[in-house]
Amino acid sequence: MRRLFLLVTVLFSLLSTAALAQRIQVREETLANGMRLLLLERHTSPTVALGWISRVGSVNERPGITGISHLFEHMMFKGTKTIGVKNYEKALEVQKEQDAIRAQMEEEYSALREKLRKGEITGNIYDPENMTPRLKELRGQLEELFKKEKEYLIQNEIDELYTREGALAMNAGTSYDWTLYFIGSLPANKLELWFWLESDRLLNPVFREFYSERDVVREERRQRVESTPTGKLNELFDATFWQSVPYSWPVIGWPSDVESITRAQAEEYFGIYYAPNNITAVLVGDFDSDEVLALANQYFGRIPKGTTPVPEMITTEMKQVAEKRLSGEAETNPTIRIRFHVPAFNHRDTFPLQILADALDGRTGRLYKALVEEKDLVVGEPYAQLMDLKYAGYFEVGAEIKEGHEPAEIEAALVEEIERLREEPLEDLELQKVKNQEMADSFRRLLSNFFLLQQLLIYDANEHWDYINTMPTMLQAVTVADVQEVAEKYLVKENRNVGIYLRKTGTEPEDPELANLPPQAKAMAKQQLAEIEKVTDPAMLEQRLQQMLQMQGQVPPEMKPAIDYLIQKAQERIEKLSNDSASSQPDGSGAQ
């Protein structure tokens, strides 16, 4: 045993040395308008991964405009004064007409909200069947203006410009704390295109198809939240967990807010949060930093600095003083979640908390050994995770309940393992194993330009990009005593939130392959599977399949099982649709 321990120690030392030797040397510049620029040259292939991030997410919203940060994810692809439009002036006239009609509609909705408050009407005032005659008339006029606006637009021109020049994996994402826009790979000789186009999107944005795209976002919410088995319960659990800090509403927004956001509100929000002094741009790949800095000054430097200071996020989370519990039914396997409040990103306690989560998580973690191998209580892998958001965080454990067992059994087993961590320190070898895995993961995350890009963007938005260098060292310094201290400090009953999801009466157990996926991968797979099952055209589904096959080698390791599962289901769906189509065709054997 001693020889094994020494061997592990030597391997850990070698791995730590390799990881620390891979410290990322980033050139950091700030333009005159306050925009940050992070440059990392890597001359391994003639491509560049590049993107920019705005320090704004749902945490910066307020009731009435929740979901507006995510809405920008759509709006920023609609073009500028010169991109995405055939006739800018004509299109602008139509947009003004749309705004006028929408203002009249809002007056009608305001009256309906008053009636709803008084109990004079019931139901969702935004449902088409509940529209007043006046609203139906105005909605008809607005839809005609949608059609008229399209006459002057060039759809998807930004995407087509990039694709034509060899760009891959262009996308955007919104979180609680940030919104980012990126290209996974662009030929190195096309950098000026990116600087010109991205600076134009920030300097001259035009929020075209605003109200119709807002309807698209509302439909996205229906598909991703309201039509998924656990979407509403997940939202409710989040809203129950957070008391004061504005993480309690979903990134996609509340339905009534998404329905009501105006173009004027969007323009005001953009002016504050999309100012260059609230943005960091990152390039990783094959380029000369001096040449790139010149391009940045030429293009991004022309964007005026914001005139309205970005409001500080002041509200902090209240200390929880009593356990909170949520119980609900859904068309899913019975599940239990236990969540605790912990500190925010880069707090000194988050590092031992991450080690603690690693010790519990995975097939070699304590939860799997106790709940699966020893007691056979759960389906798939129980999990533990740390979510350290910018202004607050949580630590969560959870599992899917096996047929024949009650939630109370699994809750007791999870709590028992947490209590054991509080009362019994980790063994030295156990701590070493977790640190080895963290070092290996840190090293792997340095290999891809694209993953490096994402890390630099997000870390700089949360605090500072150098977290990519300091994190491995901080994790390596965690002691057994540190882990026990944070367990005793945060994983206590009065800080505990329990969510129990029971299977709705009359529903069938989940596909075992889906049930065995890791939690985050499973959530993504469920959402995408629902969309795959809606497709009835084999050709369209084949296109989606090809996209997934391209992504297969690019996704993070924890998401790969979900991609593999979805590829299998897409192939099965294509085969079924093709067979159904063939069987519906005449066989040519009829009498002549």
pLDDT digits (tens, 9 = 90+) for 129-159: 888 999 999 999 999 999 999 999 999 999 9
Give me the torsion for CA of 115, 231, 234, 182, rounded to 10°: -110
Phi/psi at 64 (5° precision):
110, -30
> 470, 503, 536 — which closes off a domain?
503
pLDDT in tens, 113-133: 999 999 998 888 988 888 899
Q: Is residue 4 one of the residues assigned to a domain?
A: no
Same domain, 471 and 328: yes
pLDDT at 14: 44
pLDDT in tens, 443-490: 988 999 999 999 999 999 999 999 999 999 999 999 999 999 999 999
Q: Is residue 9 one of the residues assigned to a domain?
A: no
Q: Is residue 17 one of the residues assigned to a domain?
A: no
Q: What percent of the chain has pLDDT over 70?
A: 90
Same domain, 486 and 535: no
Same domain, 170 and 182: yes
pLDDT in tens, 500-549: 999 887 666 666 667 666 656 776 777 777 778 777 777 777 877 877 77
Same domain, 355 and 220: no
Same domain, 370 and 475: yes
DSSP per position, 192-236 = HHHHHHHHHHHHSB--TTHHHHHHHHHHHHIIIIITSSSHHHHHH
pTM of the model: 0.84
Secondary structure letter of residue 371 according to DSSP: I
Secondary structure letter of residue 188 according to DSSP: G
Q: Is residue 311 one of the residues assigned to a domain?
A: no
Same domain, 333 and 280: no
Phi/psi at 181 (5° precision):
-135, 130
State how beta strands 279-285 and 36-41 pair: parallel
Secondary structure letter of residue 363 according to DSSP: T
pLDDT in tens, 410-429: 999 999 999 998 888 899 99
- Give the integer Cα–Cα distance in Å for 308 and 294: 27
Contacts of 513 (CB under 8 A, 6+ apart): 565, 568
Same domain, 46 and 118: no
CB 399 within 8 A of CB 335: yes
Same domain, 124 and 219: no
pLDDT in tens, 13-65: 444 444 444 689 999 999 999 999 999 999 999 999 999 999 999 999 999 99
Q: Is residue 219 one of the residues assigned to a domain?
A: yes
CB 251 within 8 A of CB 68: no
pLDDT at 142: 95
Number of domains in the chain: 4
Contacts of 34 (CB under 8 A, 6+ apart): 275, 276, 277, 278, 305, 306
CA 166 to chain centre: 26
What's 284's domain CATH number?
A: 3.30.830.10
Phi/psi at 76 (5° precision):
-70, -5
**Structural domain span for residue 496:** 324-503
Same domain, 483 and 539: no
Angle between helices 191-203 and 289-299 (to 10 degrees): 30
State how beta strands 496-503 and 335-342 pair: antiparallel
pLDDT in tens, 362-381: 999 999 999 999 999 999 89
Same domain, 487 and 534: no
Same domain, 334 and 435: yes
pLDDT in tens, 236-277: 999 999 999 999 999 999 999 999 999 999 999 999 999 999
C-alpha distances (whole Å) from 325 to each of 26, 220, 337, 367, 496 are 46, 29, 10, 21, 8
Q: Is residue 309 one of the residues assigned to a domain?
A: no
> 132, 152, 172 — which closes off a domain?
152
First to last CA, the chain: 84
Residues in the chain: 592
Same domain, 139 and 239: no
CB 299 within 8 A of CB 196: yes
Secondary structure letter of residue 312 according to DSSP: P
> 485, 503, 521 — which closes off a domain?
503
Q: Is residue 220 one of the residues assigned to a domain?
A: yes
Q: Is residue 3 one of the residues assigned to a domain?
A: no
What's the whole-number average pLDDT of the chain?
89
